[in-house]
């Protein structure tokens, strides 16, 4: 097991970060968002970043399973107990923090102001202790989840090279673009059968967005279809740790290095996310 207590202590000691929030989204389900969220997080952590993953695939959260954790709590436990955010955080490999989303975000509408403030003041703490917060979203978007996506600093859109996945990913890109024109959108192609297919898919996706939306996307990279990924999922070990020199792992490391090299660390950060989500729930209450 990972040394939960020790690394949590280290995290709590340093409230000096301004987290950049990255939402990992897709149009179609099952294209690899959760695996990419987790392995990207670990890859970032290996490069010295402090990273937290929040599992926002409400009701179908499974990033914990991918790394063999069984969390005692999830974020909704902040509502009905005196737990602090540090009780909710689970420790994953390479020091990454994991926060389960749990079901029942709809409970928010019934909250009184005091409880809601308590929730957000605890939630806010996360932003000061991590460099990156990765949101693993469900496929597509709901009225609630889109608020999290639109409040992120960066969005990673995951697609496979298959036309139905591409079409749905494009619809997602379009929706985000129409609501938040300046959002940096990075495309990640997963399960490419060859380098050629990976590159071609990235290029054609980028071309379509540029032609029909006049939006420049960043073709961040591709991860090959690699049987190691399935093996790692079964072993409940993130693939970048399961076999460090597997094709998929090397591709993930390259993608992470590119991401760190290309993007600036300027973040509106977690506070933007919180104010947006607060607003959303206040709106629902009113």
Ligand X SMILES: Nc1ncnc2c1ncn2[C@@H]1O[C@H](COP(=O)(O)OP(=O)(O)OP(=O)(O)O)[C@@H](O)[C@H]1O
Residues that bind ligand X (CB under 6 A): 26, 29-35, 57, 139, 190-191, 223, 225-226, 229-230, 233, 248
Name which of 32 and 95 has its Cβ closer to Mg ion: 32
Specify the 3-state DSSP secondary structure of 220: strand
Alpha-carbon gap, residue 137 to 130, rounded angstroms? 19
139 interacts with, out of Mg ion, ligand X, none, CB within 5 to 8 A per kind: ligand X
Name which of 27 and 127 has its Cβ closer to ligand X: 27
58 interacts with, out of Mg ion, ligand X, none, CB within 5 to 8 A per kind: none
15 interacts with, out of ligand X, Mg ion, none, CB within 5 to 8 A per kind: none
How near is the Cβ of 188 to ligand X at its closest, in Å?
10
Name which of 34 and 49 has its Cβ closer to Mg ion: 34
Name which of 100 and 127 has its Cβ closer to Mg ion: 100
Binding site for Mg ion (CB under 5 A): 33-34, 57
Alpha-carbon gap, residue 3 to 8, rounded angstroms? 8
26 interacts with, out of Mg ion, ligand X, none, CB within 5 to 8 A per kind: ligand X
Torsion, CA 34, CA 256, CA 203, CA 21, rounded to 10: 60
Exposure of 44 by Cβ count < 10 A (0-12 exposed, 13-18 middle, 19+ buried)? buried
H or E segment at 249?
helix 247-262
How near is the Cβ of 109 to ligand X at its closest, in Å?
25
Alpha-carbon gap, residue 32 to 47, rounded angstroms? 22
229 interacts with, out of ligand X, Mg ion, none, CB within 5 to 8 A per kind: ligand X
Name which of 49 and 190 has its Cβ closer to ligand X: 190
Phi, psi of 235, rounded to the nearest 5 degrees: -80, -5
Name which of 66 and 209 has its Cβ closer to Mg ion: 66
How near is the Cβ of 81 to Mg ion at its closest, in Å?
27
Name which of 45 and 58 has its Cβ closer to Mg ion: 58
Q: Is the dihedral angle over the CA atoms 174, 175, 176, 180 positive or is it negative? A: positive
How near is the Cβ of 61 to Mg ion at its closest, in Å?
8
20 interacts with, out of Mg ion, ligand X, none, CB within 5 to 8 A per kind: none
How near is the Cβ of 25 to Mg ion at its closest, in Å?
11
Q: Which two tokens stand for residue 245?
A: 């020199």
b/e string for 215-254 if b means 16 or more Cβ within 10 A? bebbbbbbbbbbebbeebbeeebbbbbbbeebbbbbbbbe
Name which of 79 and 232 has its Cβ closer to ligand X: 232
Phi, psi of 186, rounded to the nearest 5 degrees: -110, 135
How near is the Cβ of 34 to Mg ion at its closest, in Å?
3
Half-sphere exposure of 139 (CA within 13 A, CB side): 12
Other C-beta atoms lying within 10 Å of the C-beta of residue 121: 12
How near is the Cβ of 204 to ligand X at its closest, in Å?
19
H or E segment at 115?
helix 113-127
169 interacts with, out of Mg ion, ligand X, none, CB within 5 to 8 A per kind: none
186 interacts with, out of Mg ion, ligand X, none, CB within 5 to 8 A per kind: none
Specify the 3-state DSSP secondary structure of 269: helix
């Amino acid at each position: 097991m990972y040394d939960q207590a020790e690394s949590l202590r280290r995290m709590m000691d340093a409230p000096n970060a301004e987290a950049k929030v990255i939402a990992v989204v897709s149009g179609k389900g099952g294209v690899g968002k959760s695996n990419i969220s987790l392995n990207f997080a670990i890859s970032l952590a290996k490069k010295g970043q402090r990273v937290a993953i929040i599992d926002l695939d409400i009701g179908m959260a499974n990033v914990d399973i991918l790394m063999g954790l069984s969390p005692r709590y999830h974020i909704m436990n902040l509502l009905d107990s005196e737990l602090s955010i540090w009780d909710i955080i689970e420790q994953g490999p390479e020091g990454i923090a994991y926060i389960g989303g749990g079901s029942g975000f709809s409970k928010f509408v019934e909250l009184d102001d005091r409880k809601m403030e308590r929730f957000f003041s605890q939630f806010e703490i996360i932003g000061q202790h991590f460099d990156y917060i990765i949101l693993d979203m469900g496929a597509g978007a709901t009225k609630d989840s889109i608020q999290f996506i639109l409040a992120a600093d960066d969005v990673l859109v995951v697609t496979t090279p298959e036309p139905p996945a591409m079409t749905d990913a494009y619809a997602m890109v379009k929706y985000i673009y129409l609501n938040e024109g300046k959002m940096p959108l990075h495309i990640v192609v997963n399960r490419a059968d060859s380098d050629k297919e990976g590159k071609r898919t990235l290029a054609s996706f980028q071309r379509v967005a540029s032609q029909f939306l006049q939006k420049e996307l960043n073709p961040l990279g591709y991860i090959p279809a690699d049987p190691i990924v399935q093996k790692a999922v079964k072993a409940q070990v993130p693939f970048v740790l399961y076999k460090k020199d597997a094709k998929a792992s090397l591709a993930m490391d390259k993608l992470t290095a590119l991401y760190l090299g290309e993007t600036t660390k300027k973040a509106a950060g977690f506070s933007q996310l919180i104010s947006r989500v607060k607003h959303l729930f206040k709106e629902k209450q009113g």
